Amino acid sequence: MEKRIEIADDLTIRFAGDSGDGMQITGTLFSNNAGIIGTDVNTFPDYPSEIRPPVGTLYGVSAYQVHFGSKKMNTMGDKIDVLFAMNAASLKVNIPNLRDGAIIVANADGFGQKNLTLAKYESNPLEDGSLSKYTVHGISVSDIMREAVKDLSLTVNQVERTKNFFALGVAYWLFNQPMDYSIKWLSKKFGKKIEIYESNVRALNAGYEYAKNSPEFTFHYSIPNAQPEPGYYRNITGNEAAALGLVAAAKKANMPLYLGSYPITPATEILHHLSGYKQYGVKILQAEDEIAGIASAIGASFAGNLACTTTSGPGLSLKVESMGLAVMMELPLVIVDVQRAGPSTGMPTKPEQSDLLMAMYGRHGESPLPIIAAKSANDCFYACYEASQIALKYMTPVIVLTDGYLAQGTEPWRVPSMDELPEFEFKYADNPETFQPYSRDENTLARPWAIPGMKGFEHQIGGLEKENITGLVTQEPYNHQLMCELRADKVAKVVNEVPDAIIEGEQSGDLLIIGWGSSYGAIKNTYDKLVANGEKLSFVHLRWLNPFPANLGEILSKFKRIFIPEMNFGQLATLIKSNYLRDVLSYSKLHGKPFTAIEIETELVKLLNRE
């Protein structure tokens, strides 16, 4: 059957079903495949907080969205072009995000009366004409798969579990992609479970052949390859990138890496990934709680390790006292906070830029810390590497902010060689005759790093205030103020390492957009589109949030209006107002989902039209 080919620069697809339907595996395999064949990829895993919510319910829908194409994919995509829906609930939840004319590939077996009732449908949308503005393919996957595996000794449930690979097979035909990588993955995953392996391979082939031979599928897509910078690439999540950034930093600094952490969604994978690097001198402790995790990391730092701890919002709350201890002791420590929707337990699997003010001020006493925020999954590598440099050079804890979108989403990453990465600058105490534990480097105000066991460098540590220079415990009032000022001045001096902020677009004028963290992609796409349409706009993205770039105040003075989109109630806006005394147009979103470019575009158009 002759079928036409449609060329597309980029497409957004979404695999959706119940939490037990394997949507995360399916989406991951598809995104990895898309990256392997040369398209750029940006993904968003979207799943409920419950481990196994009630089957068929609206709040139990698990999904994985993939935006892929021939150019740089900065976002997860705005509207869905192709939806794979395993049941009625997954269709109901995702209908609002479909573009007009989108393709729906639905598992018709997931639209029985019970499924329809749970999804709050009064009639079957696959049959009642309500989906007329979409191209709908209703496929009875169970019937096809029962026939395809009838010679295998599988239970009914095992046959049912193959439907995600049937959908993946349809996707591979629809987007003109090979299946070899997924078959190799299945062999590695289920090679010793022959019938499970065989049933999933048959499902993959069955989906591909169904779409290829069905007269309902009249075309498939072809997407030109991206043209990235030459190099060795791999798909990577933000959490894995963060782990590798820490490993690379320890290797470059020529010291062991220590991670003390407690598992918490969505930061746990950093702990998992680092556990696989023990051969490179990485030591990990899965502690009994958040406090033990950071306390052990402080001890490891004192002992001469590049030490780090990882967490998310509620865990950061528990680490607060120990963060103050690390400030007081002036020891290097990297704290990675993978932000999620709060407060309290909130929505653990959903992203939010929730912790900026907490990172900035969330400790008692005067205890400032440097803060850097990653802007993409790739940038999690460089943010953690850079934070390690600052921690060691300035003898201070440093906070790295990512979020659930960056941490669990993927994108292609060009793997740098160690020679490409910048060198580390830090000093150990070197003269026992002149050693004073709180003497300072005149450029950085860092105190000397004296490791236990170094003869002649014995000194006291702890949370009680120390006397300047000697490190003796003291409650002398003026000394306390001096030490607080020195610690604050040290963090302020980090500005010497922070690159100047760069203005994209008009160098002065009416409207400046400022972004931070994972909002980068949506803002960047919107900015590029509006400028291409002739609008006069400017855009600054901030990676360093404490200290701010030295030229930020000068930049702000050049613009009449400042617009800051954030997944919070305006935390960066609050900092900008208080530091620079500027009014800010704040745009807040707390949906547990990243910004889309269309959302920001809508707000910007209003501002440009003075609405």
138: which strand partners? 106
Mean pLDDT on 421-432:
94
Poorest-confidence range of 8-12, 175-179, 200-204, 453-457?
453-457
Tokens of 190: 């289920």
- Res. 322 pLDDT band, cuts 50 70 90: very high
Instruction: Quickly list H helices, 443-562.
Output: 477-493, 520-532, 552-556
Q: Is the pLDDT at 1 greater than 80, yes or no?
A: no
Calculate mean pLDDT across residues 440-460: 94
> Which alpha helices (DSSP H) does 436-588 contain, by range?
477-493, 520-532, 552-556, 571-580
Nearest-angstrom CA–CA distance, 489 and 368: 9
What are the beta bridge partners of residue 341? 347
Whole-angstrom Cα distance, residue 484 to residue 202?
67
Q: How confident is the model at residue 49 (pLDDT cuts 50, 70, 90)?
A: confident
Region 442-447 average pLDDT: 97
3-state secondary structure of 63: strand
Check pLDDT > 80 for residue 611: no
* Residue where the block lists tokens 């299946």: 179
> Which residue has 């598809």 as its token pair?
30
Task: Give CA–CA dist 611/598, Å, rounded.
Answer: 17
Average pLDDT over residues 249-267: 97
Contact between residue 16 and residue 93 where contact means Cβ atoms under 8 Å apart? yes
* Per-residue buried b or exposed e for 160-188, using 16+ beta carbons within 10 Å of the residue's own CB: bbbbbbbbbbbbbbbbebebebbeebbee
Q: How confident is the model at residue 241 (pLDDT cuts 50, 70, 90)?
A: very high
pLDDT tier for residue 195 given thresholds of 50, 70 and 90:
very high
Nearest to 562 by CA among 596, 538, 544, 545: 538
Q: Delineate the domains of the chain, giving CATH numbers in brackets.
A: 4-222 (3.40.920.10), 233-420 (3.40.50.970), 504-608 (3.40.50.920)
DSSP assignment, residue 428?
B
Considering the chain, what is the average pLDDT of its residues?
96
Task: Identify whether 549 is preceded by a cis peptide bond (ω within 30 of 0).
Answer: no
Residue with the two structure tokens 């591909």? 208
pLDDT tens sequence across 140-173: 999 999 999 999 999 999 999 999 999 999 999 9
Q: Give the model confidence (pLDDT) of 479-524 as tens digits.
A: 999 999 999 999 999 999 999 999 999 999 999 999 999 999 999 9
The residues with which 60 forms a beta bridge, in sequence order, are none
What's the burial of 47, exposed, middle or buried (CB within 10 Å: 0-12/13-18/19+)? middle
> Is residue 610 very low, low, confident or very high in pLDDT (cuts 50, 70, 90)?
confident
Q: What is the pLDDT of residue 460?
A: 87
CA proximity to 182, closest of 160, 201, 198, 164: 201
**Residue 289 vs residues 258, 269, 295: alpha-carbon distances, Å:** 16, 16, 10
Angle of helix 379-394 versus helix 477-493 axis, rounded to 10: 140
Lowest mean pLDDT segment, chosen from 52-61, 498-507, 530-539: 52-61
Region 66-78: mean pLDDT is: 96
Counting Cα atoms < 13 Å in the Cβ hemisphere of 537 gives 24
